[in-house]
A and B are shown apart, each in its own frame.
Chain A
Amino acid sequence: MSDSTMLLAVFDDLEPATHAIDKLHEMGVEDHQMNVISGIPFPGRVLGRPSALTNVSRIAMFGALLGMSLGIFLIYGTPALYPLHVGGQPVFPVPMGLIITFEMTMLGLMGLAFIGVFVDSGFPSYTPMEYVPEISDGKIAILFSCPSADQMNFVDALTKVGAESVAPAEARQL
């Protein structure tokens, strides 16, 4: 869509917003051309949209493997460099190795799950973005792109299904 406009439609409630999504589908707007912005999470099935993709689980799993490797290195690798002889215990202790490996695995899992949220969501981002503060007060917004020539048709169609306002999306400092 070379000559397109971003519009932001704001709704008071979930019902008209879901109708608006259906309307946008009817008018040829595809799922990847719109985004729903809300004050609480709604699963895709509630909105009638495909579920959003996330890489957080994969990143977290990678973190778990990384943490486990580090734990194994600490408990089974470093004694080769710094052998410590404790009465009656092996230099490479298996039972206590499990403790250190467990802690490092969990730290890796959760640490990278946390970082994954940043990476996948593009946080932190302090540049101006399309948003209206009313969203955190419970309104639901649909941000979508449409052909500039059809802008008024979209405004009329969404107003009819209950949009409180439909206007060109303005990037603003959050």
Chain B
Amino acid sequence: MATYAKPLVRQQPHTEEHEDPREHLMHDPLPRGKMNEMVMESMHETNPIFWVITAVLAGIVVFALGYEWYVLIMQGQGTAGVTRPDYWGVFLVNTVFWIGISHAGTFISAILRVMKVESRRPFTRAAELMTTFGLIQAGLSIFMHLGRVWVVYFMVPFPNERRLWPDFHSPLMWDLMAITTYVLCSTMYLFLPLIPDVAMARDRSEGWRKVFYRILALGFRGTEGEWKNLVTAMNIFAFAIIPVMFSVHTIVSWDFAMATRPGWSSTVFGPYFVIGALHSGMAAVAIVLFLLRSTMKHYKYFIRPEHFGTIGMLMLLVSMAWAYFYFNDYIVPWYGGDKWDKLLQEYTETGPLAYLWFTMLIVNIVIPWATLWNKKWRETPWLLASVGLLINVGMYIERYLIIPVGVTITRMPFTWRQYYPRIEIPMTIGTFALFLLLYMLASRLIPLIPVWEVQEGQENHILRKVGKANIPSISELE
């Protein structure tokens, strides 16, 4: 029998033959000292525009979170747009939104670490910082919603003469426990891999910075015992924080789903919220990486198109998963024919805010699917950041449609009214300004690139000749 092989028409050589392995960070190593120098330089060399932006953001924070909150406290929740039946307004939209943003840090750092996705290495810290700073905004937003924020300690279980005790039957208490656990654990998880990098910064600094890094480095030298302890703890955190991350947004969803309201009482709300959190979080990472790469000196070496490609791929997958869960959440009440569910769906799709519903579907599904399938587009930083920005707009709208719009359609039609945020608007801007401000200040103080993790990855990677191609191989030094 003759062997017949139809040759491919090859006008162009194979892509692999063209691809320079040095395009990948792991195959383009620099001496550790050089990488340290680059990261330190990026922290020290600050453009005057940076301080102008910092001052503007600080001004916004003082006005929006200082003065406006003072007004809210002194004049009461009446200054906000919330009233019957919309007692849950934009403050809670912000809470859910920021908790969603915070999920990206854990997802990228923990899940990608557990799955040994090597391209995670240069941007884990940038993502972990988003978790910590995002949770700060979420916490502030809950306090804004509480109104009488000075009695927040009523939720803490401690014996008191008034015999006040938190009700653990309430999803809001589960929320308190879950968010507190998540804030503490994600901050510890941010700090542990930071220790070797602040030790590096300590070795290369003078003056007040030396004192600052010396305190933070805790006396770390890099002995075998110290590394063993650190790596063991990081592995424990990487595995343990994943279920905590899932629990946090699931419990946030139960704040809604446990109520027997139209549109909220859904068994799919838990995973739907988790995937929504990842959708906005991954998109936010793309934006942050684009900003860091564009503004920080030398970051083009560390954050490369391949990293945007990884995030873009995840964004596409998460977008598909979000669409799947959204459809699940949509089709069951639509088919069920409950009068109030039907009314809420009609109000959302054809009411005065229908444009928001269509915008949400376009930016959360159509745009990611239309763009992110293409590798070249995924690896274009500005394009991925733009898609990320649109996704975040879409996810903010989604939370807005679920919360204030969702509570509009109650089983008492005489209470229906459209919600208009008032003091919530400047205070929302304040949370965004505070997030950016904290991030900008952190970029001057702590190495945002985990240099030791990058070097470790570069040590692990080699190119192996297989036939005519150079195939990247990864050894298991860990």
List chain A positions with a Cβ less than 8 A from chain B: 35-44, 46-47, 49, 51-54, 56-57, 60, 74-75, 78-79, 81-82, 84, 86, 89, 93, 96-97, 99-100, 102-104, 106-107, 109-111, 113-114, 116-118, 120-127, 129, 131, 133, 135-138, 143, 174
Contacts and interface: CB of A to CB of B under 8 A. Distances in A.
Given A100-B174, A110-B236, A133 B169 contact: no
Contacts of B74: none
A106 to B, nearest CB: 5
Contacts of B163: 82
Contact of B224 (A44, A123, A135): A44
B229 A120 contact: yes
Nearest to B230: A117
B240 A110 contact: yes
Interface string B186-229: 00110110001001101110000000001101111111111111
Nearest to A137: B33
Contacts of B392: none
A56 B236 contact: yes
Contact of B233 (A36, A41, A46, A56): A56
A17 to B, nearest CB: 12
Interface string B410-431: 0000000000000000000000
Contact of B455 (A49, A125, A138): A138
Interface stretch (B128-136, B176-184, B286-294, B330-338): B176-184
B185 A107 contact: yes
Contacts of B478: 41, 43
A123 B236 contact: no
A96 B146 CA distance: 23
B165 interface: yes
Contacts of A106: 181, 185, 240-241, 243-244, 247
Nearest to B36: A137
A106 B168 CA distance: 18
B42 to A, nearest CB: 17
A125 B185 CA distance: 23
Interface in B19-39: 31-33, 36
Nearest to B186: A110
B218 A118 contact: yes
Contacts of A118: 218
B473 interface: no
A131 B221 contact: yes
B232 interface: yes
Q: Nearest 5 A-B pairs (CB), nearest first?
A: A138-B32, A125-B219, A82-B165, A137-B33, A133-B203
A39 B455 contact: yes
A129 B199 CA distance: 13
A174 B165 CA distance: 48
A96 B166 CA distance: 14
Given A84-B167, A110-B185, A39 B221 contact: no
Contacts of A113: 232-233, 236-237, 240
B234 to A, nearest CB: 9
Contacts of A100: 168, 173-174, 177
Q: Main secondary structure on chain B at its contact with chain A?
A: helix
A22 to B, nearest CB: 16
A120 B289 CA distance: 35
B232 A54 contact: yes
Given A40-B452, A125-B218, 18 more contacts: A37-B221, A39-B455, A41-B227, A41-B230, A42-B477, A51-B228, A56-B236, A78-B157, A79-B168, A99-B178, A106-B243, A106-B244, A110-B189, A114-B188, A136-B196, A136-B199, A138-B31, A138-B455
Contacts of A111: 184-185, 188
Contact of A103 (B177, B219, B226, B227): B177
A80 to B, nearest CB: 11
B41 interface: no
A110 B241 contact: yes
Contacts of A79: 168
Contacts of B31: 137-138
Given A107-B184, A110-B241, A174-B219, A93 B233 contact: no
B441 interface: no
With a 10 A CB-CB cut-off, give which of A84, A103, A136, A137 has the most chain B CB atoms: A136
B349 interface: no
B224 A54 contact: no
Contact of B219 (A35, A74, A104, A124): A124
Contact of A41 (B165, B228, B237, B240): B228
Contacts of B80: none
B251 interface: yes
B456 interface: yes
B459 interface: yes
Contacts of B181: 103-104, 106-107
Contacts of A135: 203, 221-222
A126 B219 contact: yes
B378 to A, nearest CB: 30
A94 to B, nearest CB: 12
Given A42-B477, A96-B174, A56 B232 contact: yes
B366 interface: no
Contacts of A114: 188, 191-192, 233
